[in-house]
Amino acid sequence: METYNDKVNDDVKIIVLRTNRGSDKPDADSRLLGRTLEQWVIGAMRGMETVSADYMEGDDILPVIRPLLSFAKCITVVLYSDTPLITYSAINESINRFRDEDMNALRLPRGWVLNTGYAKICDELKATRVMAMGDEDFLTVFNYNQLAYASDIMRSRINYYHMSAGVELEDPATVLIDAYAVIEPGAKIGPYSVIKGKSVIRSGAVIGAHCELDSSVIESGVKVISSNLESALVCRNAEIGPHAHLRAGTRIGTGAKIGNYVEIKNSRIGAGTKVCHLTYVGDADIGEDCNIGAGVVFANYDGATKRRTTLGKKVFVGSNSTLVAPLHIGNGAFIAAGSVITSDVPENALAISRAMTTIKNDWQNNAFTRKAEDNRTASGDTDANSGT
């Protein structure tokens, strides 16, 4: 990690003007890759004393900044929230130039470096010198086109930072990674994936194409394919997807498998457990080495209250079963396919809850097999041209 001397600019105070251009323009709270525009500017200052003030574009800045000036800080830097690409190096260079040339006011492409005493008494800011710097550092977000342009530049900065640290991005032009995401060297991110919030991806994890992770933790050896995760924890060597949806409060145990079109919410899935197909698991605690069949529904909501279901170890739940909470199913229990379970099941028991199958022979003359004209006759339809 890059280091710097936080005492170098201890005589500097930063004032960030929270710029407002009207309701149809980006403002200080507009978001860009996980941070607001204001947060990007403040974060770039690397710990220098920073305060913010509301500011309407076009107004005189002196009445805004004067109440915030401090003689304890002989240099005041005025920046704007609409320059999210600003860097510490650009500001540090400006401050050093200001010191070397003993100025009263240095005009930046967007902002000022000021002698605090001068700013307290002057009637109007007049630049001793105007400093020209790289267009990117002071790019101003004055409309949504510029916000998109700034986002593209920041995406590139973030992605190349991670790649330089040892993260593999298959197609960096299509990957979006928020500012607060942590990705360890050795992780791999596929194209068209989005890593949002305070997500953590450990070394050796593989995030495939078309994934969206929001504030989730992905441990080593995990594979995620074309899935959405929100505030979820996925433990080592588990497999997620394709097309799975893990919602807030979900914890997936080591080596578990969560497959096609499975939705899990506020549930703990034990190590080695498989939930492979077309299943909803809500408010459940599932033990180790269980098998949850296709089409199973954990019915957790009775219209007023959400209740939990608990499964022990090595429980088998057959396809198209419904488990109605609150419910406890013991270790080694077996739920027959198509069952609706409304009461607890003890250990090693078989639970069957189905209506008895009824078969009626000679049922070939039914609505499905009859010809269309026969169906009309059978239902009492008449021909309008027959006169009947």
User: For residues 41 and 382, what is the distance between their CA atoms, to the nearest angstrom?
Assistant: 78
- C-alpha closest to that of 53 among 23, 76, 85, 31: 76
Summarize pLDDT for 308-333 with one digit per residue, the tens: 999 999 999 999 999 999 999 999 99
Distances (CA, A) of 186 to 93, 189, 199, 298, 353: 35, 10, 16, 37, 49
Instruction: Count other Cβ atoms within 10 Å, centred on residue 362.
Output: 5
pLDDT at 7 over 60: no
Q: What is the DSSP letter of 174?
A: G
Q: What is the pLDDT of residue 284?
A: 98
Instruction: Sheet with 217-218: list strands edge to edge.
Output: 182-183, 200-201, 217-218, 233-234, 251-252, 268-269, 284-286, 309-311, 327-329
Position 136 scores a pLDDT of 87
pLDDT greater than 90 at residue 153? yes
Tell me, what amino acid is at 317?
V
First to last CA, the chain: 92
For residue 384, pLDDT over 50 is answered with no
Mean pLDDT of 152-171: 97
Q: Which residues contact 270 (CB under 8 A, 6 or more apart)?
A: 253, 256, 286, 287, 288, 289, 290, 313
- 97-117: pLDDT as tens digits: 999 998 999 999 999 999 999
**C-alpha span between 203 and 190 (Å, rounded):** 15
Q: How many Å is the Cα radius of gyration of the chain? A: 32
Tokens of 49: 């004393």
Using one digit for the tens of pLDDT, what is the confidence trace for 183-237? 999 999 999 999 999 999 999 999 999 999 999 999 999 999 999 999 999 999 9
Q: Determine the Cα–Cα distance for residues 181 and 158; give it in Å rounded to an integer.
A: 10
Confidence category of residue 386, pLDDT binned at 50, 70, 90: very low
Q: Does position 377 have pLDDT exceeding 80, yes or no?
A: no
Given a cut of 90, whether residue 133 has pLDDT beyond it is: no
**What pTM, to 2 d.p., does this model score?**
0.87
Which pLDDT belongs to residue 306? 95
Band of pLDDT at residue 385, cut at 50, 70 and 90: very low
The predicted structure's pLDDT at residue 388: 39
- Name the percent of the chain lying above pLDDT 70: 93
Q: What is the pLDDT of residue 376?
A: 61
Cis peptide bond upstream of 326, omega within 30: yes
Q: Which sequence positions are flagged as catalytic?
A: 277
What's the confidence (pLDDT) of residue 85?
A: 97
Q: What is the pLDDT of residue 20?
A: 94
Residue spans in the chain of domains classed CATH 3.90.550.10: 12-136
- Checking if the pLDDT of 134 tops 90, the result is no
Amino acid at residue number 333: A
**CB within 8 Å of 347: residues ≥ 6 apart:** 312, 330, 331, 332, 333
Average pLDDT over every residue of 79-84: 97
Mean pLDDT of the chain: 92
Confidence tier at 32 by pLDDT (50, 70, 90): very high
At 248-282, the pLDDT tens digits run 999 999 999 999 999 999 999 999 999 999 999 99
Burial class, 276, CB count within 10 angstroms (exposed 0-12 / middle 13-18 / buried 19+): middle
Of 79-83, 202-206, 375-379, least confident by mean pLDDT is 375-379
Residue partners of 360: CB distance under 8 A and separation at least 6: none
Q: Does domain 227-382 have CATH number 2.160.10.10?
A: yes
* Dihedrals phi, psi of 90, to nearest 5 degrees: -65, -45
Q: How confident is the model at residue 3 (pLDDT cuts 50, 70, 90)?
A: very low
283: left (phi over 0), alpha (psi -120 to 50) or beta: left
More confident residue, 135 or 178: 178
Instruction: Output the pLDDT for position 297.
Output: 98
Which of the four pLDDT bands, split at 50, 70 and 90, describes residue 383? very low
Give the pairing type, strands 31-32 and 35-36. Answer: antiparallel
Residue range 12-136, CATH number: 3.90.550.10
pLDDT of residue 121: 94
User: So what's the pLDDT on residue 372?
Assistant: 62
Domain with CATH 2.160.10.10 in the chain: 227-382
